[in-house]
Structure 1
Amino acid sequence: MFRRIRETAPAGLVPLAWGFTIAAHLGLVADRPVLIAHLVMDVLLVAFVGLSWSDMAAGVLRAWRLVILVGIPVTLAGTVGLLVAGDPASAPLIATSVVGWTLLPVPALWYTGRESRGTARAVNYAAAALSLAGAVLYVGALAVGTAPEAGVRIAGLALVGVGQTVGIVDAAVRY
């Protein structure tokens, strides 16, 4: 049962995380719940990679293990940024976390598509393209200084969320 949870839980956690991120950008969620969510993600990522290390030693799962490994310090950057919220150093740390997670899965989605056949290939390529398009929109809007709740930033996050959700749901269902 525990193995099955590790295999399927990300299909629910990924869209939940992006929905929460969008809600925070819209000002619907305060900093404290976002900090708590980051702390939970820190623990879940470390636990997941530790418990799944040998299962993720080869093939496309190895690429995803790397995403999680790099994602741990990326998430920790957001956690630290939220802990020191109000400090001028907090904004770059939080931005690093959001931007990092918009981009980290893109190469792994593309690689998964390249290593897959048939529908799985098309699904993963589409997921990678949506995620990359969303990341570009978000980073572009961030670079020009648009407000967090601005439509283009939200649209970018939504595309990332849809792309990454498509990829993880396909993996949970297919494999």
Structure 2
Amino acid sequence: MFRRLRKNGPIVLVPLAWSFVTAAHLGYVSPRTLLAAHVVMNVVFVVFTAASWSEMRSGVLYAWKLVLLVGFGFTAAGTVALAVAPTATDLVAIMLAAWMLVPAAAFVYTARNVAEAPGVYRAAAALSVLGWAVYFGSPLVSLGGPATIAGLTLVNVGQTAGIANAVVQY
């Protein structure tokens, strides 16, 4: 049961996480709820990575192990920032950038090293980078405005497509 959850969990957790981030940008999530969500995400990363450690020794899975380790570090830093200074958005912005770009790099690596549907992984990487560009270009427009939400949506769609393809293919 746990193995199946570990294999299929990312197909639910990735879009859920990005949808939650979007809801937070729209003002639907309180700072306290956002902090609690970060604590939960940290626990999920530790449990998932520990349970998958031996399977992620080489190849494409090793690249994704690095995503989890780097992502955990950024998420933990974001958690501390939210706990200590909830209005300090710089560290949270760095964390979001990491979660947009680090998986994009792993999607590129995955596309180069799999035979099945590498185009889906290239598209996932491209949408993640495009989402990053739109999101971080959007403060010129307005934080929480349409461009910000569009950037988050691009990342969500791209990363969800890549993870869904991985779950279906493997």
- Fold equivalence (TM over 0.5): yes
Aligned with 2:135 (options 130, 138, 150): 138
CA contact (8 A) 1:77 1:96 kept: no
Deviations 1:54-76 (A, max 9, x none): 10111100000000000011101
CA contact (8 A) 1:14 1:165 kept: yes
CA contact (8 A) 1:80 1:93 kept: no
Q: CA RMSD in A?
A: 1.3
Matches within 5 A, 1:90-169: 90-118=88-116, 120-142=117-139, 144=140, 146-169=141-164
The unaligned stretches of length 5 or more in structure 1 are none
**Taking structure 2 as the reference length, what is the TM-score of the superposition?**
0.95
Q: Name 1:22's counterpart in structure 2.
A: 22
Q: Distance in 2 between matches of 1:86 and 1:112?
A: 36
The unaligned stretches of length 5 or more in structure 2 are none
Q: Distance in 2 between matches of 1:30 and 1:166?
A: 28
Q: Distance in 2 between matches of 1:84 and 1:147?
A: 25
Q: Offset at 1:86?
A: 4.6
Q: Offset at 1:48?
A: 1.1
Match of 1:92, SS?
helix
**Taking structure 1 as the reference length, what is the TM-score of the superposition?**
0.92
Q: Which amino acid aligns with 1:128?
A: A
Q: Name 1:71's counterpart in structure 2.
A: 71
Deviations 1:112-148 (A, max 9, x none): 1111225x11111111111111011112224x4x433
Q: Which amino acid aligns with 2:126?
A: A
Matched residue pairs, number?
170
Q: Distance in 2 between matches of 1:86 and 1:79?
A: 9
Q: Name 1:50's counterpart in structure 2.
A: 50
Q: Distance in 2 between matches of 1:86 and 1:34?
A: 10
Q: Distance in 2 between matches of 1:105 and 1:86?
A: 26
Q: Distance in 2 between matches of 1:28 and 1:101?
A: 21
Identity of aligned residues (%): 50
Aligned with 1:171 (options 144, 166, 169): 166
CA contact (8 A) 2:31 2:86 kept: no
